[in-house]
Amino acid sequence: MSEKYVQTVSSVNYNKGVFSLYFVGQDQQNMANGVMAENDNELQLKQAIHMPASGFMYMVSMIKNMLDDPRMAAEFDKLVAAGFLPAPDAEAVTVKEAVTETATKKRKSRGKNSDQP
């Protein structure tokens, strides 16, 4: 098994039941010389991972559960307070709440419809 340090995912693609995740990071030689990437164009592809839809959805579920954990929320609050992460945009939080509310309503309405003959 090999391990790689990556900074982020540059893209996620879906094609014919397979998700492809493309991970990027800084050039390690530049980092060793103290030169940090200043923009996304200076990042390089580190790894591509391909997985079936079922595996991708399981991964998303695990990440969602982790983000819903109050301990993780406290960690993010600490990172924001320390300046390592930007403060959440009020508009983005509102959009997230609206999407969550809409998804909840859809699930409830589907549940009601499934009881009918």
What confidence category does residue 113 fall into, taking pLDDT thresholds of 50, 70 and 90? low
The total of structural domains in the chain comes to 1
Domain membership of residue 59 (yes or no) is yes
Q: How far apart are CA 103 and CA 99, in angstroms?
A: 6
pLDDT digits (tens, 9 = 90+) for 51-101: 999 999 999 999 999 989 999 989 988 988 998 888 877 666 655 566 666
Structure tokens at 27: 């050039």
**Other C-beta atoms lying within 10 Å of the C-beta of residue 19:** 19
Domain membership of residue 80 (yes or no) is yes
Domain membership of residue 2 (yes or no) is no
Q: How far apart are CA 4 and CA 47, in angstroms?
A: 8
pLDDT digits (tens, 9 = 90+) for 38-54: 777 888 899 999 999 99
In DSSP terms, which residues pair with 25 in a beta bridge? Answer: 44
